[in-house]
Amino acid sequence: MVLIHSSKAAPLATLGTFTSRCGVGTPLNNVSKCRLRVRSVSTSVLAETKGAPNVTLPPLSALPTSMLLRSLLVAAITSKPYLLKPSLSILSRLSKSGNSLLLSVDRNIILHTILKWTFYKQFCAGENGRETQATVQMFKDLGFRGTLLTYAKETVFDHSTKSQQGLGVTTDQGKGQDGNGKRYCEHIEAWREGTVKTVDLLGEDDYLAMKLTGAGPAATEAFAAGELPPVQMIEALEEICQKCKDKGARILIDAESQHFQKGIARVTIDLMRKYNRDGYALVYNTYQAYLKSTPTTLATHLAAAGEEGFTLGLKLVRGAYMATDDRSLIHDTKQNTDDAYNSIAQGALRQELGEFGATNGRAFPSVNLFLASHNKESVMAAHHLHQQRLAAKLPTVPVGFAQLHGMSDDVSFSLLQLKGPDGSPQVYKCSTWGGMGECLAYLLRRAIENRDAVSRTQDEYRALKGEVGRRLKSLVTFST
């Protein structure tokens, strides 16, 4: 695999919503030479979201009744601090490894059943292939373009305690030798097997969402040092890329704790360099808008894509590791994160990010955008801007949208209601599959996210209650 090694510097450009300074092909681990600053985002497109087409039925009318009632139950818990706090403590206790039979979610049948029919089914796709494929098909039947499917194994690094939690954590390095005398790690092999099984569950137009820390200690050690993972994992990643390519699926590599992110981005860029050469992105890197460093990182990657001629897969999120990552690396306010998110999303859609695409700036490279967000303003603004540019035949980039399974259905179905004859917006649901024990860290993070987004959770609860009320009313009207 080739690494970027040139360090030519480009002049400062101040255009669009960024200012930037970054050398073409600046080494990925030497971002200090690049400067890119997010300015406040244009609000003209945000204001236009209010003019969205009027539709007669509310977006949640598309939700099957069983899902609606489960969503209402979960939202009732997550929107009330006095119910959410004890639920979080319980989930946190259950997610600890080495629990007794009584507290083991995999062995205690009563506990397993309660969790399965509430939190698990709300946020996860299935415990096995059959359940998962049924969920993937259900999303297609509901009008989604496809599913982003992820295998639950991961490792989270807590900056405050300097400790790791999750299934990648073990004192056993799992190292040995295979039959040919090559170094062999059983954790990487287990992760490869789980991921390949996930690829087998995907259909055309679905995405594999990958958490690289799930490969265990040998991988996380390398990522923490900003290095590439062991050859065994790189070979597994290449096998996975080829399999996805063969079946018409794509790959989103998740952004994780900052502790691991340099190494993760490094291997992801190498994969893009190799596989994103057919005019589209097979592989996407995830950019966390809440990080102050993201515009700089993105400028470096745009430069690499432009110079080396590959398509940059740009998945944009706000960032999910506020509770564990170093706070000083994250924007000081939510507004700053929102501005950063909208600025990058809209800049990419205008093909103008900092000096890339600006008059007298550098050419905008091939980019495929994926907006993963529950923020209605952000996604609606991006969709309307994309439509405007297509209608005006102005340059833009392909874009997909996704929300997590069990969250922000109002946003997902609002986007689906705008679907035009060209099939856009392309909306996806992102779900996780795996055994109950494997999914607990993921479930816990969803619960924490709901706690931290109180007003959105309460809005969701009100919308769900409104939809239940509407259905009851129409039932009564119909029967009288």
Ligand X SMILES: Cc1cc2nc3c(=O)[nH]c(=O)nc-3n(C[C@H](O)[C@H](O)[C@H](O)COP(=O)(O)OP(=O)(O)OC[C@H]3O[C@@H](n4cnc5c(N)ncnc54)[C@H](O)[C@@H]3O)c2cc1C
Q: Write down the least CB distance from residue 101 to ligand X, Å.
A: 34
Question: Smallest gap, in angstroms, from Cβ of residue 370 to ligand X?
Answer: 8
Q: How far is the CB of 373 from ligand X (least distance, A)?
A: 3
Nearest to ligand X of 188, 379 (CB atom): 379
Cβ of residue 91: shortest distance to ligand X, in angstroms?
17
Residue 114 and residue 436 in contact, taking contact as beta carbons nearer than 8 Å: no
Measured from the CB atom, the residue of 28 and 404 that comes closer to ligand X is 404
- Select 258 or 366, whichever has its Cβ closest to ligand X: 258
- What is the binding site for ligand X (CB under 6 A)? 148, 254-255, 286, 288, 290, 317-322, 330-331, 333-334, 337, 372-375, 402-404, 430, 449, 453, 456
CB of residue 402 to ligand X, shortest distance in Å: 4
In whole angstroms, the minimum distance from the beta carbon of 371 to ligand X comes to 9
Backbone angles phi, psi at 222, to 5 degrees: -65, -45
How far, in Å, CA of 90 to CA of 104, rounded? 12
256 vs 355, beta carbon nearer ligand X = 256
Neighbours of 21 (CB within 10 A): 19
Distance of alpha carbon 57 from its chain centroid, rounded?
Answer: 29
Say if CB 266 and CB 224 are below 8 A apart.
no
Tell me the sheet residues that pair with 166: 155
One-character DSSP codes across 381-425: HHHHHHHHHHHTT-----EEEEEETTS-HHHHHHHHHT--TT--S
Which residue intervals of 284-375 are DSSP H helices? 294-308, 334-349
Q: Which is nearer to ligand X, 183 or 327 (CB)?
A: 327
* Least distance to ligand X, CB of residue 238, Å: 21
Q: What letter does residue 231 receive in the DSSP assignment? A: H
| Beta partners for residue 184, in sequence order | 176
Cα separation of 372 and 56, whole Å? 27
**Considering only CA atoms, which of 235, 257, 240 is closest in space to residue 321?**
257
How are beta strands 163-166 and 155-158 bridged, if at all?
antiparallel
CB-wise, 38 or 330, nearer to ligand X?
330
Q: Which is nearer to ligand X, 49 or 288 (CB)?
A: 288
CA dist 24 and 31 (Å) reads 12
